[in-house]
Amino acid sequence: LQIEGPSEGAGPTIDVEQYMAEELRKAAQSDQQRLAALRRKDLDDFLLLQISTIADRAVYIAGFSQQGVVRFLDRGVDAGHAYLLFVLLACILSLLPSLLLSSVAIFINDAQGIRKKAMSIRFLVTSQLLFISYLLSFFFLCLALALMGYACGYPREAWITASAGAVAGFLMSAGVLAVTRHHKAALAQFSEESDTQCSPQTLADATYFVKSRSGMVSNLGGKAGIFSSFVFYNLVTFSSDIAAKAGENTLTSFFLALNALTLLGGILAAVLDSVITLWCNDLPGVRQRASFLHRCRFIITTCQSGFFFSLVCFIAGFGLYGIIKYTPRSFIPLSLACCSAVLTAAGILYLRTQDHQARRRTAGKPYKN
């Protein structure tokens, strides 16, 4: 495969093998991680997956971070200035990956052949920096959540959002560190050549395991980010929209706690889903990915639990909205929330029953693809 210059005298032709050999030689002298990435045949597909995983979710973070900026009222307290700084940093650091990675996707999809490979190589370091920016936006969002009660006019209830922000920041950091450690352990356990050295049945079992486990966590973070972004508005405007009308009582505090817990579960699901998906696809070998997902089974369960916990708190908070804000009180949101909870529980029970029957009927029978 060769690419010629755009016109006569524009330069010599570029040989693909020669170009890749030169890039591998440069990477071997500087960065072992980049060297492993360059050896991948699907480097452009990996970058596109990273873009689709991060860019869409970063938009939601930027959107509700802007709500936190627009609805902020300066009350002359130091916590308010710190809150404004953190929420602005969260907005900026989430806008960068959203806009730049979307532009990268346009350039990579527009290129072909060696140009597509070359652009993927050039964008590799940029995509890694934007992924760090994406994670930092969540970190600053947790800091802003911890200070939100003091900055947004409800200091008596500030311990609720402060606790949610602290727990979200701690669990998010611990989860990212654990996933990174499992990624390194999977790399050390199996080499890239291990897929060719094992039996076909072992490779088929590993492939099936990777598909099943990665499907359990895929896209949970994107769904959690949607409804979590709505409750951020409720947290920022709690003093003016809720406490000013209904007062600060047990019911309004419970409503505030439900919204804070919704955001906590959404942040946890979004971060863990993103990190597990990207680190899994960063591993070139099937057995490496299977080992990684096996080590991350507790974190995958935590991600799923965070998603469903956030969804339950979101439905419960929606049910209280008509009681604490509307005058006269409206029980329509509460009725709809109860119906949603009953239908969701019935659907989950039905799925569990079908899964149990399928396991019982296929027990002891070999799987054939």
**pLDDT tens digit sequence for 200-211:** 777 787 777 777
Dihedral class, residue 276 (left if φ above 0, else alpha if ψ from -120 to 50, else beta): alpha
H or E, element range at 334: helix 332-361
Residue 60 token pair:
């939601």
Instruction: Using alpha carbons, select from 175, 159, 168 the residue that is nearest to residue 140.
Output: 168
pLDDT band at 22 (very low <50, low <70, confident <90, very high): low
pLDDT exceeds 70 at position 32: no
Mean pLDDT, to the nearest integer, of 226-247? Answer: 78
pLDDT band at 127 (very low <50, low <70, confident <90, very high): confident
Q: Which of 6-20, 215-229, 303-317 has the lowest mean pLDDT?
A: 6-20
Q: What's the chain's average pLDDT? A: 77
pLDDT band at 4 (very low <50, low <70, confident <90, very high): very low
Share of the chain above pLDDT 70, in %: 79
pLDDT band at 41 (very low <50, low <70, confident <90, very high): low
Contact 276, 318 (CB under 8 A): no
Mean pLDDT, to the nearest integer, of 3-12? Answer: 44
Question: What is the phi/psi pair of residue 98, to 5°?
Answer: -65, -50
pLDDT exceeds 80 at position 3: no
What count of residues does the chain have? 369
Q: What are the pLDDT digits (tens) for 44-92? A: 677 777 777 787 778 777 777 777 777 776 677 777 788 888 988 988 8
Mean pLDDT, to the nearest integer, of 14-24? Answer: 56
Is 14 in a helix, a strand, or coil? Answer: strand
pLDDT exceeds 90 at position 170: yes
pLDDT band at 174 (very low <50, low <70, confident <90, very high): very high
Mean pLDDT, to the nearest integer, of 337-344? Answer: 79
H or E, element range at 359: helix 332-361
Mean pLDDT, to the nearest integer, of 274-290? Answer: 83
pLDDT exceeds 80 at position 226: no
pLDDT band at 167 (very low <50, low <70, confident <90, very high): very high
Distances (CA, A) of 260 to 90, 169, 213, 226, 306: 17, 13, 29, 15, 13
**pLDDT for 365:** 54
Q: Which of 142-151, 294-303, 313-322 has the lowest mean pLDDT?
A: 313-322
pLDDT exceeds 80 at position 292: yes
**CA-CA distance, 306 to 278, in Å (whole number)?**
19
Q: What is the dihedral of CA 111, 117, 121, 126, to 10 degrees?
A: 30
**pLDDT for 234:** 82
